[in-house]
Amino acid sequence: MKYVDAHIHLSDREYEGKTGQMLEIAKQVGVAAMVSNSMNLETCRVSLTLAQEHGDLVHAALGIHPWSVIQLNPNELQQTINFVRENAAYKDRVVAIGEIGLDPQYAKRKAQRDEQIRVFHEMLKLAEALALPVIVHSRWSAQRILEILPSYTLKAVLWHWFSGPVELLPRIIERGDYVSEGPPVAFSERIQEIVQVVPLTLLLSETDGPVRYYGPFKDQPTTPALIPDVVGAIGRIKKTDEGQAAEQILTNFSSLFNIQF
């Protein structure tokens, strides 16, 4: 059985010195591919290096996270855009623009919110120009993002760890966008409700490591070992066995990121 982790931050400093361990764990539990998401220019460089060094197991998503916007160095936005453009030719290594989006928790002032939106637009322009999918962070901002996305012709959209509002799901589904969920699907009624609504043909599994979780995963480090639990929970919610759920998620991952297994 093959699994995938559509969203992990292998470039995060918490994983520094532990990358080999993470990859070995992935192999042991059957995770066949991971997408290492980036936050800023530094993590874009690390994600790309990991993707180049670890063959088909690691692929890179490059971009600027909304949390990082207020901490960007002068010219870092343009430097990041240049870096992505220079390396986008590695189509088998650079598979998406991500993690990008909006998050009002990290933009309390109007000037910060405006800058988040400006950076998001620049990332969407980049994705459109390079014909790459986008991986979207939408906490407390899904409505605004849904208003922005139609302005761009995007190859595909992945709503990472979508947590609501559930009322927006029909529009997301109608667009043909994908939704990825992680360990909370095993214990969060809200996430379980979302998985119930989204067709299995649009669902993906993720860990969002190194983020840590509660419920049955309390006090556990977040590693690819959690992916079988995620897929098992998705299978139960969708009333199918884990093998069928894993197979469909693998197909979704392949279609979204143009990765063949």
Q: Tens digits of per-residue pLDDT, 4-31? A: 999 999 999 999 999 999 999 999 999 9
Helix (H, G, I), strand (E, B) or coil at 153: coil
Please report which confidence band the pLDDT of residue 245 belongs to, taking 50, 70 and 90 as the band edges.
very high
Separation of alpha carbons 241 and 231, rounded Å? 9
Please report which confidence band the pLDDT of residue 92 belongs to, taking 50, 70 and 90 as the band edges.
confident
Using the predicted structure, report yes or no on whether residue 90 has a pLDDT greater than 80: no
Q: Tens digits of per-residue pLDDT, 126-150? A: 999 999 999 999 999 999 999 999 9
Dihedral of alpha carbons 52, 55, 61, 67, sign: negative
* Cα dist from 40 to 142, 166, 170, whole Å: 22, 30, 32
Domains of the chain, earliest start first: 3-257 (3.20.20.140)
Using the predicted structure, report yes or no on whether residue 91 has a pLDDT greater than 70: no
* Angle, helices 41-53/76-87, rounded to nearest 10 degrees: 20
Using the predicted structure, report yes or no on whether residue 50 has a pLDDT greater than 70: yes
Q: Tens digits of per-residue pLDDT, 173-220? A: 999 999 999 999 999 999 999 999 999 999 999 999 999 999 999 999
143 contacts 152 by C-beta, under 8 angstroms: no
Phi-psi region of 192 (alpha: psi -120 to 50; beta: other; left: phi over 0): alpha
